[in-house]
Structure 1
Amino acid sequence: MWTLLIILLIVWAGLAVFGFVVKGLLWLAVLGIVLFLATLVIGMLRRTAATKE
């Protein structure tokens, strides 16, 4: 689970950086940032739920 989360975070960060580097792909940067934040929040929520049980 943690491996998948870390891989997704790296992929989303890479997409965001690539989107900022290539001028015409600003939408890709925004998508990368949104997916990065969503993955981070979901990972934290699952971690919190797992520690409560």
Structure 2
Amino acid sequence: MLLERHPGPIATVLFYESTGKLLALNERYSIKPSPALIREMEQMLGPDTVKIK
């Protein structure tokens, strides 16, 4: 899985705009943010869909 290839200390939380709901993923999907990770995620999800806070 994409997130598992970029392990790190940052929790991953998904936000669904259509419902306004958040989904916190298991800590095994914690990431180390990087331009490569964002690029790969946007290739899957579409441009401007990934936000790091």
TM-score by length of 1: 0.28
Q: Which has the higher helix share?
A: 1
**Higher Cα Rg, which structure:** 1
Q: Which has the higher strand share?
A: 2
TM-score by length of 2: 0.28
